[in-house]
Amino acid sequence: MSVNPADSAIFGGLFGTDEMREIFADRRYLQRMLDVEAALARVEAKLGIIPAAAAQAITAAASIERLNLGEVAASVPVVGYPVVAVAKALGRAAGGDAQRYVHWGATTQDILDTAIVLQIRDGLARIEQGLIAIGGALAEKAGVHRDTVMAGRTHLQHALPVTFGYKCAVWLAPLLDHLERMRELRRRVLTVQFAGAVGTLASLAERGRAVTEGLAAELELAAPLAPWHVNRERFAETACFLGLLCGSLAKIATDVILLMQTEIGEANEPHQPGRGGSSTMPQKRNPIASEYVLAAARGVHALVPLMLNAMAQDQERATGPWQSEQLALPQIFVLTDGALAHATALARGLTVDAEKMRRNLDATQGLIMAEAFMMRLAEKIGRDEAHHAVQEACGKALEEHRSLVDILAEAPEIASQLDRAALDRIADPASYLGEARSVADRVIERARAMIGERMPGP
């Protein structure tokens, strides 16, 4: 039974992926706890703290198949955590003298936190795959549509011409930043937690640091300078990073929804029979992928504050804030992966109607080129006077439903400075794109440098 749609057998495909749910599933979490316990035993055996035979037996027994999940489930409401039941079950499975050495010198939170770090490592690897996939798709679109001129819009109104390749590059640029941000994030977040009861590892005396560093090396994690069991910025930073990523995906989804409006019709989500349909209106092709990108992103943004609030940890072991993280972090990963999957499919299959872009560009009969006219005129009569003259012409063009070029050509103060041939040249939207093509080129170049051979070819 599922209460959260992201975990539902029916609705789960709309909000997440099975691959990310598997990373944070109960069985995987318990297996990660066993992985940490086994690694701890091996390290302590190498340091002569426990017998080598005990470490071998513990490692051999550290499999989820050796656990009775019913016993673990029954223990958790009583104890508050699964580690006690897991450690006992591991000891029984290891058998003999090895039982005495399971969980040696550790505390519950050491195992839970380090297991979560291992889950985060797997989760970030999947997020990276998604970023590479959507990055390649958007870079390809930016290249294909480098010269596809369309209306740039501010406040939802025509502003200046841009290209669709430029728009794709603007979508892509922050995703490349996120890819770099995530690679930096790993250095801080993928850190072992092994600190004992209050962080001092007193139970291991002078060998505590050696065990910490050995455990980190065994699990291919970093060793912290100080215990972080009550310093939760690593997990909070991970959540914030995923929140930023979702914000960038939501920007793409919002733009696609607007471009798909019937009155705009410049781009459409990839279509298949029945997709985005209506129960009453046969003509509908709703922006379903974009809608669920937005829904997942809003879910993540609602959960990030819970992770930030959990940073207020009391003394040397928190009474609630730490435990609340489990309500948010797995869902943040699942929802982010769901948003990324939808956005990637959208980026790969987005259909672009260049003819409709051109018709929309021409819909205002040249008004979108008002700044271009003003700037050329300003070279001759000054900016303020040019702005006033072109603004008056725009008002007249709107009132009379006529071409702006015709109105400008009829104005003596303008015609005396710019003849009709010059006005016609300025009126071409492709002549006033500024940095649009260069922006696309720069972003594509950075994508190729970061993603390399994993990107589609030119």
Catalytic residue positions, numbered: 155, 278
The Cβ-side half-sphere exposure at 69, using a 13 Å CA radius, reads 10
CA distances from 324 to 27, 31, 119, 308 (A): 20, 21, 17, 11
Closest CA to 166 of 436, 392, 397, 396: 436
Give φ, ψ of 267 to 5 degrees.
-150, 155
CA angle, residues 184, 188, 193, in degrees to nearest 5: 155
Task: Give, to the nearest 10 degrees, the angle between helix 69-79 and helix 26-46.
Answer: 90
Q: Report how far residue 387's alpha carbon sits from residue 414's, in angstroms, rounded to the nearest whole number.
A: 11
Tokens encoding 319:
């009474």
Measuring CA to CA, how many Å separate 425 from each of 185, 367, 419?
Answer: 50, 14, 10
Q: Tell the residue number behind the tokens 């207020």, with chain if given.
A: 312
DSSP letter string, 323-367: HHHHHHHHHHHHHHHHHHHHHHHHHHH-EE-HHHHHHHHHTTTTG
Yes or no: say if 113 and 215 are a contact pair by the CB < 8 Å rule.
no
CA pseudo-torsion sign 313, 314, 316, 318: negative
Q: Are 236 and 290 in contact (CB under 8 A)?
A: no
Instruction: Round to whole Å and give the CA distance between 227 and 430.
Output: 59
Q: Alpha carbon of 151 to those of 140, 159, 349, 411: distances in Å? A: 21, 7, 22, 26
Contact 133, 203 (CB under 8 A): no
- What is the secondary structure of 64-98 as a DSSP string? GGGS-HHHHHHHHHHHSSSHHHHHHHHHHHH-GGG
User: Cα(202)–Cα(208) distance, rounded to whole angstroms?
Assistant: 7
Q: If DSSP codes are grouped into helix, strand and coil, which group holds residue 226?
A: coil
